């Protein structure tokens, strides 16, 4: 017998379902045995079987075959009852029952979550990404192969799945058809490429961000279908250089993009085709006066970026406004743009 089959059977024997089925089988067998051997009614046979299994007692007026059957029932039934009660008590005391309830809750969340990000990897980079998404109340699911990292994510209150992010059935399980985007931040470039490729095949319209360690990996991720590719080492080096050369500029950008800042924020607002702002100029839409925000740039639907647009610049449907203002003002603008 293969080792894997032995492990599977051993795990099945430790499940409460198996214990309950075993106990019910013993009681049913005892009931049928007493009906057959002693000719008792169904209720009397069931009642006396329960008495025997729980060692409360057994009747003295019984035939020799019935006595032999009772001995066998006591030896087998008491063991089955003790096994079942011990296993159930262990599940409650050691947290097995809460864990099962948690897994059921997670399964329900995976079936209903939508407009979320799929975060592949929960290492040093992935955990930082998760904290940022969590701070901004953005729904997301973590896919990680390392069980210790998955355990850490769950302890942090995150929805996490222990699996391979490059497998299509896993991506389907975490709701890729309903997802807002995917972030490939696994530890190796090869795994990120496979994850991006699998996601792109399943969702041609999905927004995908990939993490790259090398320039060669950047090209491969783009070919695999990533919309954006980020190199943490390159960005870190540029950040250090900019901090040394233009510290005030870096401080402003960090202030505007930090999720902890409650006074000033920079956000991108997509103009829906049905919005009253579509096909209007910035001046006609009265963005500055109505919402108290500054339009820093406009990203057109063809990804062209227009910085510091003039007041007579027309806002098109599908364009993204990069705006700067207070969070509550940005929320009002987002509602108007939708």
Q: Give the pLDDT score at 91.
A: 64
Q: Give the pLDDT score at 138.
A: 92
Q: Give the pLDDT score at 99.
A: 63
Angle at 227 between CA 222 and CA 233, to 5 degrees: 70
- Distance between the two ends of the chain, CA-based, in angstroms? 61
CATH number attached to the domain at 99-236: 3.40.50.720
Q: Which residue has the tokens 């067998």?
A: 29
CATH number attached to the domain at 3-93: 1.10.287.70
C-alpha R_g of the chain = 31
CB 291 within 8 A of CB 332: yes
Delimit the domains of the chain by residue range: 3-93, 99-236, 261-337
Phi, psi angles (nearest 5°) of residue 267: -145, 160
CATH, domain 261-337, list 3.30.360.10, 3.40.50.980, 3.30.70.1450, 3.40.50.740:
3.30.70.1450
**Is there a common fold for 3-93 and 261-337?**
no
Running along the chain, 338 residues long, what does each successive block of 10 average in pLDDT? 43 60 81 84 82 68 73 74 73 59 76 92 93 90 94 90 92 93 93 94 95 91 94 89 89 73 78 89 88 90 87 90 88 88
């Amino acid at each position: 017998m293969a080792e894997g089959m032995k492990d599977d059977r051993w795990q099945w024997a430790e499940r409460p379902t198996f214990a309950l089925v075993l106990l019910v089988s013993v009681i049913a067998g005892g009931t049928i045995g007493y009906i057959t051997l002693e000719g008792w009614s169904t209720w009397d046979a069931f009642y006396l079987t329960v008495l025997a299994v729980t060692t409360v007692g057994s009747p003295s007026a019984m035939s020799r075959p019935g006595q032999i059957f009772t001995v066998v029932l006591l030896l087998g039934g008491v063991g089955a009852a003790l096994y079942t009660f011990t296993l159930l008590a262990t599940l409650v005391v050691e947290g097995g029952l809460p864990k099962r309830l948690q897994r059921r809750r997670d399964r329900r969340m995976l079936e209903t979550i939508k407009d979320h990000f799929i975060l592949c990897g929960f290492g040093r980079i992935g955990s930082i990404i998760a904290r940022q998404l969590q701070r901004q109340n953005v729904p997301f699911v973590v896919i990680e192969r390392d069980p210790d990292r998955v355990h850490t994510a769950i302890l942090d209150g995150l929805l996490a799945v222990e699996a391979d992010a490059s497998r299509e059935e896993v991506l389907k399980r975490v709701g890729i058809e309903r997802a807002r985007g995917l972030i490939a931040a696994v530890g190796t470039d090869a795994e990120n490429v496979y994850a991006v490729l699998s996601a792109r095949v399943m969702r041609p319209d999905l927004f995908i961000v990939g993490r790259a360690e090398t320039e060669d990996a950047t090209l491969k991720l783009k070919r695999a279908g990533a919309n954006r590719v980020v190199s943490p080492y390159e960005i870190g080096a540029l950040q250090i250089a900019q901090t040394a050369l233009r510290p005030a500029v870096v401080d402003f950008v960090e202030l505007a993009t930090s999720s902890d800042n409650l006074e000033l924020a920079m956000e991108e607002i997509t103009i829906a085709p049905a919005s009253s702002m579509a096909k209007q100029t910035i001046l006609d839409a009265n963005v500055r006066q109505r919402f108290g925000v500054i339009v820093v740039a406009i990203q057109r639907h063809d990804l062209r970026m227009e910085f510091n647009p003039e007041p007579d610049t027309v806002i098109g449907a599908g364009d993204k406004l990069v705006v700067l203002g207070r969070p509550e003002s940005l929320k009002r603008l987002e509602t108007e743009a939708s």
